[in-house]
Amino acid sequence: MDRDARPSDAPLEGIRILVFVGDDYEDLELWYPKLRLEEAGAHVTVAGAVPRHVYSGKHGYPCASDAAIGDMEAADFHGVVIPGGWMPDKLRRDPKVLDLVREFSSSGKLVAAICHGGWIPVSAGVYRGVRVTGSPGIKDDLVNAGAIWEDAPAVVDRHHVTSRKPADLPAFMAAIVAVLARAKAPRH
């Protein structure tokens, strides 16, 4: 970070975030959050099934994983961001992915999902009674999992942040940064 940068330029300094990746992730829904979180001072680890593997987004943009999902521990992070695309349909079949999301949720840590990313928290069983949004294509899945559906650019319910589509990314990221900054703030 630039020595002249003020602390307010990095409100998430010291925050560690896990982001899932796999083939056919939605390009913008991974890269926009990753870069925005890093810009705010957070350390982002992108984890896929295989470490240091290059995954291809739905629109062909590559993303190399930093680590393997199997090596990740929720205790090492302040939250998880789950991009959409077709990737979540495959990753939600991985018991380790579901365990991580359950641990984040039960610990009150950020669980953020956009578009089809909501499939993973659905399969992890953490949305019952939680206000959420997501791709209209998975609305029935969310409702059937016990979530309370809202059609909005971003929905925050405690430590859960959800969004519908790439065009909603500014609202999604503003909500994520606010939730993480609130969690980081000293309690009096």
109: region left, alpha or beta (phi > 0 left; psi from -120 to 50 alpha):
beta
Q: Which candidate, 109, 93, 107, places its Cα nearest to that of 161?
A: 109
Amino acid (one-letter) located at 41:
G
Question: Which of 78, 116, 159, 160 is the catalytic position?
Answer: 116
Please tell me the number of Cα atoms within 13 Å of 188 on its side-chain side: 0
Q: Which candidate, 84, 55, 57, 58, places its Cα nearest to that of 69?
A: 55
Over its C-alpha atoms, the chain yields an Rg (Å, rounded) of 15
Q: Active site includes 188?
A: no
- Residues annotated as catalytic (active site), given as ranges: 116
